[in-house]
Structure formats: structure tokens, C-alpha cells
Amino acid sequence: MKVGFIGLGRMGQAMATRVLQAGHELIVYNRTRDKALPLGAAGARIADSIAAASEGRDAVITMLADDAALEEVVLCNAGLLQSLPRGGIHLVMGTHGVDTIRALKQAHQRANQTLVAAPVLGRPDVAAAGQLGIVAAGPADAVNRCRPLFEVIGRRTFDAGLEPEGATAIKLANNFALGCAIETMGEAFSLIRKYGVAPRALYDVLTEGLFSAPAYKVYGRIIADESYDQAGFTALLALKDADLVLAAAGVAGVPMPSANNLRDRLLSAIAHGDGDKDWAVMAREQARASGLS
């Protein structure tokens, strides 16, 4: 496929590398050009503009940090909306708000283009291994056209239906559930620390028992080791997602009291200067609240 890729943070770099290695014709663009240089050295073309990354492409993947960045890339002068060919696919793989995805879906439809939402599940190391989960939603023919990309980026694609915002809702729900698991582990680790127990002892009990899932293994280890500087997903990005969860819940009339607690813990971590740490740093906030260092 002729593919454009916009947004080359840690996740985007890893995903674009997978696309390139699979033999697709890849053009990449990033606002900070230096981030595109490793892909250029590996054989991708580096575009100097959004338009250059979009023209003549079968699909353009965006992997952007927030709604503002996505809207700018799509709606700006010579942006994706003006540059993607008729019939082209905008493949949105970042985490965004339901209302934003709905609005951009309609804008692409008016331009005879198609938006497919396919947010990913996993950290940068998982992306580099091509083992991400992908939650895909959009018109069936467009989703099928994207499957060769899904196959090289992820281990499994989950079908979220015909409306792109369905995939967005699933990704937000997944991040919410994971955030609550991290928050709960933070409370549990603080409890045993107050009794002088080594954190690794609880980690072993959790991960060798009922909680032997990757979420508890990965984030439980980060909490036990307090290795918050090795950020796969920062507290600032997690706060953005918590806000998106609450916004989606507000539109749908769904009470989510745990989401408010999650958001408050993230906000407290950021207020203490830990915004760039891994979002498991919520456990440090619980430790502070428990009188632990």
C-alpha cells in the first residue's frame, strides 16, 4: 500500500517502522523533522508538509497525542482534509475524544474520504514487536483495506463495528479499567508497606495468583521497583485520557465515580512534578497520602 504516517513519537516511530519493514511505500511527516530522520535512514521518504505526506496515498495513519493536534493536522490549510485523495482513508490510531472522531468522520465524508478509527493497545516496546492490540471501527470495506497494515502492526484486531467512535469508546474504556487497576495496586502496595512488607512479596502474590495478567505484571513491577522514570505512557497523557473518559460518560449519561478518583490521583501526581513519569506514578501519590516516602 501507499501509506502516509503523521506523528512520530515513541509509539509512532515503532509503528511506522513496522509498516516500512513490511514493504509498504511509506512517507512520514512529523512537526519536529528530526524525529523522522531514523525512518528516512531506513528507507522511508520524509515529507516536508502534511500535504506531501497525504497526496496520492491509499491511507494516512495519524498517531497524535491529543485532539487539538489531530484537528490541526486534518483541518488546517493544506491539511489532511484538503490533501488526502478522494476515496483515501484516514486511519486514526491515537486515543481521541468521541465527539472529535464523530466530527472528523463527517468532515471526511463530505470530502469523499473515509475515517477509520483503530486505536492501539500497548506500550512502545509492544509496538516495536508488532504485538499491539488494535480496536478497529469504520465502514467494512475501508477496514478491510487496512488489514494489511493491522497485520504488521498488531497481534490481533478487534472489530468494534461500523462507526469509528465505537473504537474510540472501547479504547477509552480499556484505559479507564487499566488506570483503575493501577490505582488499586497503588493502594494495595501502600497497605503492605505500612506493615513493613517488601513490595516484591505482594507483586509475586498478585502475579502468580488471580492477577496474572500483563497489566498487573507490567505495572505491578513498575510500582514494586518504583521505576517511574521509564515512562511508556506518561501521567500527563493519562490525565488527557481520563478527561476524555469523563467527557464520553457525560454525553452518554453514565456515572463513573472511579474515573473521578483516577483523575484526581493523576492530577495530584502532576501537581507534584511527576507529569512526565509513567502513569503508574499514581502509586507514589497513594504512598504520600499514606504517610510513606
Q: Catalytic amino acids?
A: 171
Q: Are 238 and 278 in contact (CB under 8 A)?
A: no
| 107 φ/ψ angles, rounded to the nearest 5 degrees | -65, -45
Q: Provide the grid cell at 79.
A: 491539511
Q: Are 171 and 95 in contact (CB under 8 A)?
A: yes
Taking the C-alpha atoms of residue 212 and residue 214, their distance in angstroms, rounded to an integer, is 7
Taking the C-alpha atoms of residue 293 and residue 290, their distance in angstroms, rounded to an integer, is 9
Q: Are 85 and 114 in contact (CB under 8 A)?
A: no
Q: Provide the grid cell at 237.
A: 497523557
| 213 φ/ψ angles, rounded to the nearest 5 degrees | -95, 160
What's the distance, CA 293 to chain centroid?
31
Taking alpha carbons only, the member of 3, 30, 39, 253 closest to residue 148 is 3
